[in-house]
Amino acid sequence: MKAPWRLPREGGRTAAPGAAGVRTLAQGLFWGWVLHALLAGFVAWQLQRSGAWLRLLEGDPSRISLVIVAIALAVTLWCGRRAWQLQAQADAEGAWARAWRADRERGDPEAAQRLGERTHGAHETAWWFAAAATKLGLLGTVVGFIVMASQLAASQVFELAEVQLLLKQMTQGMAIALYTTLAGLVTNLWLGLQILLLDRLADRLAAAITAGAFD
């Protein structure tokens, strides 16, 4: 999880970005998200055509993989909305810039913390969901091994037909473990990349606001 944003020190080595640069970066990030969302939708459609989603449903009766996919979809849509919001705030008339100026005029000692909460606060929840996807994948792995162990413990006759049936039943548990782990890892990587880019843009936006680029 990313460390809380802090007000840059005066005379620091990193120069505050200009308003035009932040605005361009925000626009580029939003349209980049649109492009990648369309690409992800195309990949999902191809997976549907190939029957991959049906195999996922059949291979994971615990439905943990579906919960992970739902998290991926919901957080991805939120990232698009957040990118649009950051783009809208990269303006002198943006609510965050006006609130920063108002806090500074009042001499509010917590002005920087308030700005950091506006620019980065919502990202903490998104990071939690990205981490939750991995944890759900691990939960599915445990569930899969429990299914395999329970099937093995319930079998007492080891004739050839019984062994074949046992292997088939154990394969179901292995499928749960593998599908959920794969879904969790892919979702974590996909969401982590999006939220990381949002964090970087929020850093630049907050630095520009505190430097007076939008005054």
Rounded CA separation 101/107 (Å): 10
What's the pLDDT score for residue 162? 64
Q: Is residue 6 part of a domain?
A: no
Q: Is residue 109 part of a domain?
A: yes
Q: pLDDT digit string (tens) for 133-160?
A: 999 999 999 988 888 777 766 666 566 6
The C-alpha R_g of the chain, in whole angstroms, comes to: 24
Tally of domains within the chain: 1
Q: Is residue 14 part of a domain?
A: no
Identify the band that residue 161 occupies on the pLDDT scale cut at 50, 70 and 90. low
Token pair, residue 33, equals 């998200």
Q: Is residue 10 part of a domain?
A: no
Q: pLDDT digit string (tens) for 30-67?
A: 999 999 999 999 999 998 899 888 888 888 888 999 99
Global pTM reads: 0.81
Q: Is residue 2 part of a domain?
A: no
CA angle 144, 149, 155 (to 5 degrees): 130
DSSP 8-class letter at 214:
T
Q: Is residue 13 part of a domain?
A: no
Q: pLDDT digit string (tens) for 52-110?
A: 888 888 888 889 999 999 999 999 999 999 999 999 888 877 888 888 888 888 888 88
CA dihedral 24, 29, 30, 36 (to 10 degrees): 150
Q: Is residue 11 part of a domain?
A: no
Rounded CA separation 200/205 (Å): 9
Work out the percent of the chain whose per-residue pLDDT is above 90: 40
Burial bucket for residue 83 (CB in 10 Å: 0-12, 13-18, 19+): buried
Q: Is residue 3 part of a domain?
A: no
**Domain around 64:** 19-210
